[in-house]
Amino acid sequence: MASGGIIDISTGMAQTIGRYFSVVSVIPSSLYVIFVYVLITSGSWEHSPNWGHAVKSLEQLGVGGIAFLAFLSVALGVLIHPIQFAIVQFFEGYWGTSPFAQAIRARRILRYQRLCQDLAEEQNRTQDQLVYFSRAGVRAPAVRTPLQSRLDETSRVIDTFPRGLSQIMPTRLGNALRRSESNAGSQYGLNALQIVPQLLLIAPPGHVDYVNDQRSQLDLAVRMTFISALASATAVLFLWPYRLWVLVAVIPYVLAYLSYRGSVVAARLYGSALDTLINLDRFALYEQLRLQLPADTAGERKTNEELARLFKYDDAVVLSYRRPDGAGGS
């Protein structure tokens, strides 16, 4: 599969300075600039931090000071914005081909593959126990509820991973996006990587906005993860000589962890939005391509199989076109 997968199929909309820039770029950057300002005004670069002085400096910021911090926030957001896609790729688990990166990546993939196998075994075992108790006439909640709870949670976790072990990625975010990549449109024989960029050009504005909103949520969560991790490293750089004060770095670290887990949820919602886009607008694509509308899902899958080959530049594919309404000829 193409490097980056489903995250780069929105035709570059999220890679330009646009309607989501203020949310995705400026807000995380503003939090980082304020955090560094507090570290600097606390005097922690030269001596043990004086947090009271830092807070007082914040309270006494004039119009000029606020404007300067705002300028730094926007500037930082502009600098980071072009590498947003690379940041997402990093958190997905695309780490390059160096021996060190590949060794870590392989270990992580193997770990998640073993986890998926263990979860599948647990799921099957729990289902068998529930079937056994049902046939034995055991209806006691004290017996069935723990099993049902374990089955529900096992199934929920399994649903965050791709269906095939060969598709497993080295990170949770990568697995959530890879599952979306492989699932979206698969029921129709469509490949999301091929179809979604074209659907975004012809879908109604409301449908496109819905996809973009979910993409914005994902980008914001990933950017917050990156900025929070950067803030944690910055805090360590400033505070490591002052013993327990270095624990201040735990605060942005926890925020980075929570933001990352939020990005996994956002990735699943983004995948759901893409699936919805395909469900609702694929016939509009057939119309735009002048293809004969299929009579049923079996015919649709057959047509889409040929269409996928055509999109891969297979010049042996032959598709029948439907004449536009009002066109002449027999």
- CB contact at 8 A, 185 and 195: yes
**Does the pLDDT of residue 327 top 80, yes or no?**
no
Q: Tell me which DSSP letter residue 291 carries.
A: B
CB atoms within 10 A of CB 200: 19
pTM of this prediction?
0.84
CA distance 143 to 212: 46
For 166-217, the pLDDT digits (tens) are 999 999 999 999 998 888 888 999 988 889 999 999 999 999 999 989 998 9
∠15-21-26 over CA atoms, to 5°? Answer: 125
Residues whose CB falls within 8 Å of the CB of residue 273, separated by 6 or more in sequence, listed in order: 210, 211, 213, 214, 215
- CB contact at 8 A, 17 and 26: no
**Does the pLDDT of residue 3 top 60, yes or no?**
no
CA distance 189 to 182: 11
CA distance 177 to 162: 9
**DSSP characters for 86-102?**
HHHHHHHT---SSHHHH
Report domain extents, the chain: 5-93+171-288, 289-330
For 9-44, the pLDDT digits (tens) are 443 444 444 555 666 778 899 999 999 999 999 999
- CB contact at 8 A, 285 and 307: no
Q: What pLDDT score was predicted for residue 21?
A: 60
For 124-168, the pLDDT digits (tens) are 999 999 998 888 888 888 888 999 999 999 999 999 999 889 999
Residues whose CB falls within 8 Å of the CB of residue 96, separated by 6 or more in sequence, listed in order: 102
Read off the pLDDT of each residue in 248-255 and give the average, rounded to a whole number.
96
Interhelix angle 250-288/172-183, rounded to 10 degrees, is 10
Q: What pLDDT score was predicted for residue 27?
A: 87
Higher-pLDDT residue of 135, 330: 135
CB atoms within 10 A of CB 46: 8
φ/ψ (deg, to 5) at 120: -65, -40
Q: What pLDDT score was predicted for residue 9?
A: 46
